Structure 1
Amino acid sequence: MTVLKLLPTIHIHPILIIFLFIGFITGTFMEIIILLAIVLFHEIGHYIMAISFKWRIKSITLWVFGGVMDTDEHGNRPTYEEALVSIAGPFQHVFIYLFIMIVAPMNVIPISIMELIVYYNNVILLFNLLPVWPLDGGKCLFTLLSTYVPYKRAHTIMILTSVLVSICILFTQLFILPFTLSSVFILLFILLENRTEWKQRYYVFLRFLSRRFYGTNHAKKTSLIKVSNSNTLFDVFSLFIRERKHIIYISYHDGQETSIDEWDCLRSYFQDKHYNITVDEVKRMD
């Protein structure tokens, strides 16, 4: 594999182009370049860790104070992989601090530029640790939640938490802290990203289920799920937790119980195309 094939495709988000233009006409172009360099270094950390796990990376999109690595792997890989990929970006800032500590005594870079590097390194690091999707803190929150809470519910909690935190920060920026247009633009962009994620939540959940059926479950332990015989397959799937194999106990009104494996439910849904039947009907066809 050549070096060029290892390099990611990098896109510049339109909002970043606007900021670059504003920086050029207002004389803050150096600040924007420093910020962009730190963001790119941050995203390269994610990328290197992801390709070390053989993730399929489509591209990296850079925007102000962050970037987005386009991949379908989130939610379908082992949790330790997703945690390491999410943490790899913020960890890059440690190397920037080390670089500053080594270079500062040499006086090869003007103090004003060194101060800007330290400032933006702090801001980008802290900003990306916020529990907001699609920032690293939001991805870590989702990984943690989906380890203990059903995937579908964890995804919903993550989006609602992201929106709530973003709105709180936006109101703080508008009415308490000194107003900056850039902060408002960034927060509005994040809210739009969460709106898109909310609209795609059904697709995200189906992708999670299809990977369990067609791919690898990465199950570490077995969990029991108790449902009524009148529950649909989708009701059952809504209780699935990552990295667990589920045994489904079906209870009847007369007090009887029976069990069915999750594989039979997934096969009925994805292979046999039984989208609207109950779990009891799946058991009877088994």
Structure 2
Amino acid sequence: MSETSLLGIRFRIHPLFWLVVGLSIAAGYFLETLALFVIVIIHELGHIAAARELGWHIREIQLLPFGGIVAIDEELEADPLDEIVVALAGPFMNVTMVAISFLFWKTGVWSDEWTRFFMTSNWLIAGFNLIPVWPLDGGRIVQALLCYFLAYRVAVLGSLGASCLLAGLMLGIGFLEQHVQLVIASTYLAILNAKAFVRFPFQFIRFLLGKHAGSVGINRIYPVTVEPNVTLLQAVQCLRKGQYHVFHVSGRGIVEERRLLHALLFEQKHQEPIARLL
């Protein structure tokens, strides 16, 4: 991928993005291609504005053949509801652009043809991004909802599994309909989810480290009841995002999340029964 920086944000551009742009311009669609590029950028700026409002750090924006992805550092420790707000901020910008284009059309600034193209492009980009496949906006929303109701490990692995199945379904439809762009997009999404599966153990460690560093001061307390012989490694698999856990060890006492994480991460007591921490 080629890279550049703008306003302190790194942009990574996939080679296939330039290929799609080049083919579109060669076919005589320069203005349309430029408009699509602007729509994608404004969509991603919506995510950035919402993320920065929450105090998150934007690592980079990736421009792909079918749109863009914003990489954010804080999402591993973020509250699931905040993640949903950030994910919806992009499609919200598309809806806003549709409203503005309608206003331009009503006042005679834009022609019927150009307004139709601009509106359709925004609806398509917003709709595609809301497909429940990670890391699209819809996939992030689904993953955040699962994280709100389930343990982090179960939620992420479940959402990635569902994303792989949906990406495979999209790939099959793309082949049947001979839709080249859908084949390229679904293949890339399937590869991203496969890589996410492989990287998840490292992601889970980052999640645990983030919870250990930020657990003090969290007001949302979530109680978990476990048996005395449950290992620390098994216990941390019950942890959820945005909540501070208190483990009630049956018949023994209480172990707080921070003590559990310290023993696991820094004392290397992975297979130690949780009762030993009392």
| TM-score, scaled relative to structure 1 | 0.87
1:268 Cα deviation (Å)? 0.8
Instruction: Give the corresponding residue for 1:64.
Output: 65
Percent identity between the two aligned chains: 24
Instruction: Give the corresponding residue for 1:261.
Output: 256
Instruction: Give the corresponding residue for 1:241.
Output: 240
Amino acid at match of 1:26: A
1:25 Cα deviation (Å)? 2.7
Secondary structure, aligned partner of 1:9: strand
Aligned in 2, Cα 1:88/1:23: closer, same or farther, shift over 3 Å?
same
1:72 Cα deviation (Å)? 1.5
Secondary structure, aligned partner of 1:73: helix
Equivalent positions of 1:145-156 (< 5 A) are 145-156=146-157
8 A contact 1:75–1:143 mirrored in 2: no
Measured in 2, the distance between the counterparts of 1:217 and 1:48 equals 27
Measured in 2, the distance between the counterparts of 1:42 and 1:68 equals 10
**Which has the higher mean CA deviation after the structures are superposed, 62-71 or 273-282?**
273-282
Amino acid at match of 1:263: R
Instruction: Give the corresponding residue for 1:183.
Output: 182
Aligned in 2, Cα 1:267/1:279: closer, same or farther, shift over 3 Å?
same
Amino acid at match of 1:116: F
8 A contact 2:10–2:61 mirrored in 1: yes
Amino acid at match of 1:157: G
Instruction: Give the corresponding residue for 1:83.
Output: 84
8 A contact 1:66–1:124 mirrored in 2: yes
Q: Which runs of 4+ in 1 moved over 6 A?
A: none
The Cα offsets for residues 189-220 of structure 1, whole Å up to 9 and x where unpaired, read as: 11111111111111221111111111246744
The Cα offsets for residues 153-188 of structure 1, whole Å up to 9 and x where unpaired, read as: 00011101111111222222322xx32211110111
Instruction: Give the corresponding residue for 1:51.
Output: 52
Amino acid at match of 1:167: G
1:7 Cα deviation (Å)? 5.2
1:275 Cα deviation (Å)? 3.3
1:6 Cα deviation (Å)? 4.9
Question: Which runs of no fewer than 5 residues in structure 2 stay unpaired?
Answer: none
Secondary structure, aligned partner of 2:270: coil
Instruction: Give the corresponding residue for 1:206.
Output: 205
1:130 Cα deviation (Å)? 1.0
Secondary structure, aligned partner of 1:77: coil
Aligned in 2, Cα 1:181/1:5: closer, same or farther, shift over 3 Å?
closer
Measured in 2, the distance between the counterparts of 1:223 and 1:9 equals 37
Instruction: Give the corresponding residue for 1:279.
Output: 274
> How many residue pairs end up in the alignment?
274
| TM-score, scaled relative to structure 2 | 0.90
8 A contact 2:56–2:74 mirrored in 1: yes
Secondary structure, aligned partner of 1:200: helix
**Which has the higher mean CA deviation after the structures are superposed, 140-149 or 58-67?**
58-67
The Cα offsets for residues 198-257 of structure 1, whole Å up to 9 and x where unpaired, read as: 111112211111111112467444333233333221100001122333222334xxxx54
Amino acid at match of 2:96: F
Aligned in 2, Cα 1:226/1:119: closer, same or farther, shift over 3 Å?
same
Instruction: Give the corresponding residue for 1:127.
Output: 128
Aligned in 2, Cα 1:179/1:28: closer, same or farther, shift over 3 Å?
farther
Instruction: Give the corresponding residue for 2:33.
Output: 32
Amino acid at match of 2:229: S
Measured in 2, the distance between the counterparts of 1:78 and 1:241 equals 10
